[in-house]
Amino acid sequence: MGPSGKTVVLAVLAAAVLHAAVLCNGGITSSFVRSPEKSGDMPLDSDVFKVPPGYNAPQQVHITQGDLVGKAVIVSWVTADEPGSNTVVYWAENSSHKYKAKGSKTKYKFYNYTSGYIHHCTIKKLEYDTKYYYEVEGGNTRRTFWFTTPPEVGPDAPYTFGLIGDLGQTYDSNATLTHYEQNPNKGQAVLYVGDLSYADNYPFHDNVRWDTWARFVERSVAYQPWIWTAGNHEIDFVPEIGETKPFKPYSHRYHVPYKASNSTAPFWYSIKRASAYIIVLSSYSAYGKYTPQYEWLNNELPKVNRSETPWLIVLMHSPWYNSNSYHYMEGETMRVMYEPWFVKYKVDVVFAGHVHAYERSERVSNIAYNIINGLCSPVSDQSAPVYITIGDGGNIEGLANNLTEPQPKYSAFREASFGHATFSIKNRTHAYYSWHRNQDGYAVEADSMWFFNRFWHPIDDSTTAA
């Protein structure tokens, strides 16, 4: 922590003495104050939204993991003028043997918007830890990209994930993505915690902004998989104009390998990648008892084998622990349903978005309450996950800078700034996490923490936060 952090801690300690009995001697509220000025969406003629040259050129290319273990990739792209080919041609680096995989295409209408031809193709049986080139074409125009598959699933496979949420398409969004790309410890895949394009902020949810967003992020997501989580800006529920099917644009455009984890809907699913087991949940699908998501998660958690994947990471959009007045307590109902499981199965970390600020919790749980016993405060709990809110991608809605006071004790660090984070797994016992604030044109590591694995290294890591 910096010198200003120490001052804050002293102030907080003083407060702790006064309020020793109640839970309000919190952690650090960063003294860095960002101008709350919103930056607008980048205009339609911005460089980042350019349609690639050539008739019917494939655009909006993006990839995500295509199976349970990382040996398949879903390649998606859009052609605007005519359907074009559904085929992806791919080959391993240094190999002259080219393979072909055939996908399918879809299209949708949203009020008076008609999408281009949206292609999805799963390429399978890839080798681990190998660089592949792939090519998509739309008639005469071919485009070539590449990605590297993860190492084989196993306890000591090091792997670095990037973390981005609530990105949108403003100048701030562009700064966040640029900082992520320039981070020397940049991830090999992105865990994306929901709210993608913010097209729904436009009249009639102008879906042209779904297209521009996908062109904007192509420079990253065509080369490394982004693991998708659905947020509220993906719902696109507008009965006034006859659009009543939730997630219509999102689910046409972003496919995920949900069937591989026996999920029955693309909004909750899991994957293994290197030494991590990643569970994606949907804050906007039913999660109460007896619902499909509840039944799925109930069966899923016992399957996690920490000898194989020591790191258990959960992604969701709406945070459970959030000391910001913005979206305050929106995650509460899901917390009540699932938090006992997260403690029982010793989830290492939960990443959420939604709140346009940054916050990291201590390891706490709040599962003792049973309506009549009055035990309703978070308590320190070394079996509990760390909760991190990383909804600070920089979208058009601006920063959420009205923090609740006093800072609750469970809140270790919070700051209303835009940025991104990385979670860098070193081996089965250690992972290094860091958050990078967007500061005046460059990125600064503003918060960090060593994670000790819940299963292999059951030692209190809460005292080691930097």
Ligand X SMILES: *[C@@H]1O[C@H](CO)[C@@H](O)[C@H](O)[C@H]1NC(C)=O
Whichever of 86 and 202 has its CB closer to ligand X, that residue is: 202
Whole-angstrom CA distances from 454 to 152, 428, 445, 463 are 22, 10, 25, 15
CA–CA gap between residue 277 and residue 274 (Å, rounded): 8
Catalytic residue check, 19: no
Whichever of 85 and 122 has its CB closer to ligand X, that residue is: 122
Work out whether 47 is an interface residue with ligand X (CB under 6 A): yes
Residue whose Cβ sits closest to Fe ion: 354
| Residue 262 binding: pick among ligand X, Fe ion, none (C-beta 5-8 Å cut-off by kind) | ligand X
Work out whether 440 is an interface residue with ligand X (CB under 6 A): no
The residue from 354, 363, 409, 414 that contacts Fe ion (CB under 5 A) is 354
Contact (Cβ atoms closer than 8 angstroms) between residue 271 and residue 70: yes
Work out whether 46 is an interface residue with ligand X (CB under 6 A): yes
Residue in 119, 327, 420, 436 annotated catalytic: 327
Residue by residue, DSSP assigns 127-190 as PTT-EEEEEEESSS-EEEEEEEPPPPS-TT--EEEEEE-S-TTBHHHHHHHHHHHH-TT--SEE
CA–CA gap between residue 40 and residue 101 (Å, rounded): 40
Work out whether 404 is an interface residue with ligand X (CB under 6 A): yes
Contact (Cβ atoms closer than 8 angstroms) between residue 453 and residue 459: no
The residue from 48, 265, 379, 444 that contacts ligand X (CB under 6 A) is 48
Return the closest-CA partner of residue 410 out of 6, 23, 11: 23
The CB-based long-range contact list for 31-37 (8 Å cut-off, 24+ gap) reads: 31/4, 31/5, 31/7, 32/4, 32/415, 32/417, 32/437, 32/439, 32/446, 33/416, 34/399, 34/401, 34/416, 34/417, 34/418, 36/398, 36/399, 36/401, 36/416, 37/398
| Residue 389 binding: pick among Fe ion, ligand X, none (C-beta 5-8 Å cut-off by kind) | none
Helix (H) or strand (E) holding 221, with range, is helix 208-221
Work out whether 62 is an interface residue with Fe ion (CB under 5 A): no
| Residue 402 binding: pick among Fe ion, ligand X, none (C-beta 5-8 Å cut-off by kind) | ligand X
Whichever of 284 and 345 has its CB closer to Fe ion, that residue is: 284
| Residue 171 binding: pick among ligand X, Fe ion, none (C-beta 5-8 Å cut-off by kind) | ligand X
The residue from 56, 183, 232, 365 that contacts Fe ion (CB under 5 A) is 232
Per-residue contact track with ligand X, 165 to 194, x per CB under 6 A?
------x--x---x----------------
Per-residue contact track with Fe ion, 142 to 181, x per CB under 5 A?
----------------------------------------
Q: Mind telling me the catalytic residues? A: 327
The residues that touch ligand X, with contacts defined as CB under 6 A, are 42, 46-48, 68, 93-94, 112-113, 171, 174, 178, 204, 261-262, 303, 305, 307-308, 325, 402, 404, 426-427, 429-430
